[in-house]
Amino acid sequence: MVHHSSFVDEEGVKKACGCPLLPLKSHIKGPAPVSDRTDIVDEAIMFFRANVFSRNFDIQSPADKLLVYLTFYINVALKRIEGCRTLAEGTKAIINLGLEKVPVPGESGFPFPGLFADPQSQKEAELFRNYLQQIREETSGRLLSVAYRPNGTPNKWWLAFAKRKFMNIIAL
């Protein structure tokens, strides 16, 4: 069973490339509005272990597109930290992942062509790139807190999911 986002009707939320720029509980600077309640990153992490088994994902709202993107990103991040035996090594791997260029729809390397609309202008492309960068950084930080135990050792119940393919897409 696929879990969908609860952010179905987000009135007044700015959009870029057909994706809502949902508020985040974040201290990271970026275009996302600040929120103090459960956000899309919380949902992506909470639903990841169930959604990663899906070969198909029926998009029911624009926020589901973001949930699909974050599920794929979490899968990529878990693959990067899979061999890291300590929290420090995992943090270094995640930081290196965060330094990579974030592709937007219409560019090579974007994992879901057709899921998001191509940007109508360079300004929209940069806004969406900055939002994806911010949401990836926020997701990475929260993912480290569940992928590693408080003593800094890997949590095998999370890292085992690095071997899964989400929607039959192989994460590099």
pLDDT for position 6: 72
Model confidence band, residue 168 (pLDDT cutoffs 50, 70, 90): low
How far is Cα 101 from Cα 97, in angstroms, rounded to an integer? 9
Burial of 146: CB neighbours in 10 Å, binned 0-12, 13-18, 19+: middle
Topology adopted by domain 15-163 = Arp2/3 complex 21 kDa subunit ARPC3 (1.10.1760)
Q: pLDDT tens-digit profile of 121-153? A: 999 999 999 999 999 999 999 999 999 999 999
Model confidence band, residue 9 (pLDDT cutoffs 50, 70, 90): low
- DSSP E strands: which ranges in 87-133? none
Between residues 48 and 10, the one the model is more confident about: 48
Tokens at 29, concatenated: 């600077």
Report percent pLDDT > 70 for the chain.
92
Report percent pLDDT > 90 for the chain.
51
Mean pLDDT of 44-49: 89
Q: Is the pLDDT of residue 172 over 50?
A: no
How far is Cα 169 from Cα 167, in angstroms, rounded to an integer? 5
Mean pLDDT of 43-51: 88
Map out the domains of the chain as residue ranges: 15-163
Mean pLDDT of 4-12: 73
How far is Cα 143 from Cα 158, in angstroms, rounded to an integer? 9
